[in-house]
Amino acid sequence: MTTTVTKWASVVTSMLVWVSPAARTFAEPLRPITVSVQVLTTTDTPVSDIPVLLVSSLGDVSGGASDNDGRVTIQGSVPVSDRVFGLLVSGGGDSVLSDADKNRLMGRMRVWVRAHCIQAERTIALVEGQDQYSVVLRVYECSTLTGRAVDSDGAAQIAIVANPWTLVEPEEPSNPFTVRVPRGVASCLLIGTAQAMRFLRLTANQTATDGNLGDVAVPAPIEIGVIQVTATSFDQYAISNDLREVPGVTLLSLDGSSIVGANGRSTKDSVTGVRTVQISPVSVPTGTFYVLPGIFSGEATHRAVLDAIERNDAAALSVLPSVQVQSGGTTNVTIDFTAVHRAMFNMRQPD
């Protein structure tokens, strides 16, 4: 089971435009857009060799790397029903680059990530009739925060801590924990154990300087039986997210307080073509949970569900599958991975 590993999308050059297999095979009409991106520090210094991807509800569309002026122009197509598109700063993965170019870009990324917090994602509203967009991505100085993860009795827990708002090098699990966040900017953390995570929002005041968050309570899990997920329309989702063999799901409590991720393995029925994802037994508090495609890593599409919970957006949340979890036994749920993922993507609110 894995709850904290974020898979960053593929790196592509500004000289090459590509279209994902998902975009090529999906039946919905697509609309072309052009996005002019500039990567700058907070003092408006251009940052070169930062790979940026244009992302739709179907996954990665196209991308490029910033030039000496920090600029890259990305052309791609997104589904006509999408409300928003995303921009993702990429940290690795498969690539259309040569090994030499990929190593150059990844070397540049590592230099910046060691000393800075690079804004990992932006969400931009799509405007009807508009096909040209201009966006600035920021590279921030970092503040260092410490804290201690505890259970409901106040006992210290070895904490896994991730900052999904920015692309930073991960910290080793520890107690107390240490994590870097963008200085003076509202941010968020995932804090918890291998069994359950807590999503913690931070204000700009909390990140303005180095500081201590004190004790952070994390959910206390109990054992349950096997969860079996039957995933329809899984091929489409798998192509977009590179999860064909080892997919995962997230169990998210209705109030957003408990987050549990579980890996599984898919098998395909040779007659029906339906893939079944068998999820291994996981530890989770009892109650009702949304069942979401993918391991929760705090990226924007998963965060959109938490945002919908916070604003009590019943209409948006009503499209998500949920399940009542009891101790022991087997819990069964069927998910259209592609449809649910696309619904989650379009819950994203523009920055």
Domains of the chain: 21-139 (2.60.40.10), 141-217 (2.60.40), 227-345 (2.60.40)
State the pLDDT confidence band at 15, using cuts at 50, 70 and 90: very low
Stronger pLDDT, 242 or 198, i.e. the higher one: 198
Q: Vertex 149, ends 195 and 263: CA angle to 5°?
A: 20
Q: What is the pLDDT of residue 81?
A: 92
Inform me whether the pLDDT recorded for 192 exceeds 90: no
Give me the mean pLDDT over the 2-21 stretch: 28
Q: Residues 238, 247: contact at Cβ < 8 Å?
A: yes
Q: Residues 181, 202: contact at Cβ < 8 Å?
A: yes
Q: Vertex 187, ends 211 and 169: CA angle to 5°?
A: 80
Q: Say which residues have a Cβ less than 8 Å from residue 143's Cβ, sequence separation at least 6.
A: 180, 181, 182, 183, 184, 207, 208, 209, 210, 211
> 200-228 burial, b for 16+ CB within 10 Å, e for fewer?
bebeeebbeeebebeebbbbebeebeebe
Q: What is the pLDDT of residue 224?
A: 65
Q: How, if at all, do strands 227-232 and 331-336 pair? A: parallel
- Secondary structure (DSSP) of 247-294: -EEEEEETTS--EEEEEEEEEE-TTT--EEEEEPP-B--SEEEEEEES
* Token pair belonging to 332: 């069964």
Length of the chain: 351
Q: What is the pLDDT of residues 207-220, one digit of tens each?
A: 999 999 999 888 76
Q: How, if at all, do strands 275-279 and 117-119 pair? A: unpaired
Q: What is the pLDDT of residues 300-344, one digit of tens each?
A: 888 899 999 999 999 999 999 998 877 777 777 888 888 888 899
Question: Is the model's pTM score more than 0.85?
Answer: no
Q: What is the three-class DSSP state of 11?
A: strand
Q: Say which residues have a Cβ less than 8 Å from residue 271's Cβ, sequence separation at least 6.
A: none
Nearest alpha-carbon partner for 295 in 250, 334, 329 = 250
Q: What is the pLDDT of residues 240-277, one digit of tens each?
A: 554 444 577 888 989 988 888 877 777 777 787 666 66
Stronger pLDDT, 189 or 164, i.e. the higher one: 189
Q: What is the pLDDT of residues 27-82, one digit of tens each?
A: 678 999 999 999 999 999 998 888 888 888 887 678 888 899 999 999 999 999 99
